[in-house]
Structure 1
Amino acid sequence: MSIRTLITEDSITALRALEIKLSEFPEVVIKGTVNNGQEALDFLSKNHRIDIVLMDIEMPVMNGIRATEIIKQKYPQIKIIIITMHDADHYVFDAIKAGADSYILKDTKADKVFETILDTQNGGAVMSPSIAQKTLSFLRGSSFSGHVSEDESPQLSDRESEILEQIMKGLTNKAIADNLFISPFTVKRHIENIYKKLHAHNRVELLHKANKKKFLG
């Protein structure tokens, strides 16, 4: 299995550091590197057979949030992982609203970057722990107006509740599997069920609905 990856990063130093991290994992095949969001769009217009885009936020010409929004509109099958040094609230929520699948920080260790790529490619959504906590804190203190269903609260199984608690900590599917002594495949299936039961379409909706329906303390 190979994961075709495009890196969008304007800093040569950050780009090189990321390439070194990914060089440990032959499954990740870097198909191209570009300097800004517009260059990412130009690249994809000629070669949209890309699985993952690793996207910085602050870049010249077109930033990563705007590029994410456009890529998701044109190529919804492509997964986008924001990988940035910024964890300010507005960056996090703007990126998620734009359609980013996962959001991690640049100081994330190589093995965690790889786990994030795998999880995201398999339909998961990963946040660095600090990002997950910011998101949860924001939702607990706001009137977030996502597409929230007023349906009767669904019942999560004990295992689903355990996994939801792990998700709120920003853990990857593999980390959750290790903690609960089950396979990543089983974790993925449980997460799919949680999304269906809560009628959630992205990580912010999941956090909000889990909090609203009192699945979280």
Structure 2
Amino acid sequence: MYKMLIVENDNFLKELLTEYFNDSEKYKVVASITDASLAPSICFELGVDVALLDICTDDGNYGGIIAGTKIKRDYPHIKVILMTGIPESNFIAEAHSGKIDSFLYKSDTITNLYNVVEATMAGENIWPEESNQFSRSDISLSNREKEVARLICCNCLTRMEISEQLGISPNSVKTITSRIFVKVGVDNARELMKFMLANDFFIPEE
């Protein structure tokens, strides 16, 4: 079983990732933290095999890149995977310079994230293509879709509750929700909430 370190700024996503990888029975999350500056010492002390690092963490701007670079310099046998919800091209260049093993966007599903970890542990290097970089501007929701998505993600309302609040039928809510799922590329409300959270996709009030 591989020992994994997770560094993630958001506690909800950190717990979600920890639970997912522990349930795989192939990885044991030996530490999950929000401060990337602690990652190199934890890797050494706990004998970590793979580190999954968020780029923007509690220790300051781009702490994941700095920590990942130190880990690869001092412990080159450890696999380091960077993840971010912010599509900035300089991140990839800096990650390459730091000898990082793989890089992905948090807009990917958790299953794809797991597959990237698996491929990296098998010796592959996974990097996003320029054409596949995520941008919030790629997702165009109508005002009604934004309204429904906000009620799902921010208010945690059920279909019936949304129907009553907006004065539309439950079937209309179902249709609108289905369109949102298709546009965002998720299968259910839980995945939608995770996606919005991971990508800082805050839906403004109209």
Corresponding residue number in structure 1 for 2:29: 30
- The answer for unaligned runs of 5 or more in structure 2 is 133-206
Write the distance in 2 (CA, Å) between the matches of 1:19 and 1:38: 19
Equivalent AA in structure 1 for residue 38 of structure 2: E
Corresponding residue number in structure 2 for 1:52: 50
Corresponding residue number in structure 2 for 1:74: 74
Distance 1:21 1:107, change over 3 A: farther
TM-score with structure 2 length normalisation? 0.58
CA contact (8 A) 2:40 2:71 kept: yes
CA-based RMSD of the aligned residues comes to 2.1
Write the distance in 1 (CA, Å) between the matches of 2:92 and 2:100: 9
Q: What does 1:35-114 align with in structure 2 at a 5 Å threshold?
A: 35-47=34-46, 49-61=47-59, 63-114=63-114
**Structure 2 counterpart SS, 1:113:** helix
Equivalent AA in structure 2 for residue 61 of structure 1: D
Write the distance in 2 (CA, Å) between the matches of 1:61 and 1:133: 28
Equivalent AA in structure 2 for residue 50 of structure 1: V
Deviation, structure 1 residue 113: 1.7
**Structure 2 counterpart SS, 1:124:** coil
Q: Does 1:15 align with 2:17?
A: no
> How many correspondences in the alignment?
131
Write the distance in 1 (CA, Å) between the matches of 2:44 and 2:20: 27
Write the distance in 2 (CA, Å) between the matches of 1:15 and 1:64: 14
Deviation, structure 1 residue 27: 0.7
**Which stretches of structure 1, 4 residues or longer, exceed 6 Å deviation after superposition?**
none
Superimposed CA distance per residue, residues 96-129 of structure 1 (whole angstroms, 9 cap, x where no aligned partner)? 21121111122322321221111101110112xx
**Structure 2 counterpart SS, 1:53:** strand
CA contact (8 A) 2:8 2:54 kept: yes
Equivalent AA in structure 1 for residue 51 of structure 2: V
Write the distance in 1 (CA, Å) between the matches of 2:84 and 2:37: 18
Deviation, structure 1 residue 42: 2.6
Write the distance in 1 (CA, Å) between the matches of 2:105 and 2:31: 21
TM-score with structure 1 length normalisation? 0.55
Superimposed CA distance per residue, residues 185-213 of structure 1 (whole angstroms, 9 cap, x where no aligned partner)? xxxxxxxxxxxxxxxxxxxxxxxxxxxxx
Distance 1:39 1:70, change over 3 A: same
Write the distance in 2 (CA, Å) between the matches of 1:134 and 1:64: 23
Q: Does 1:133 align with 2:130?
A: yes
Distance 1:95 1:134, change over 3 A: farther
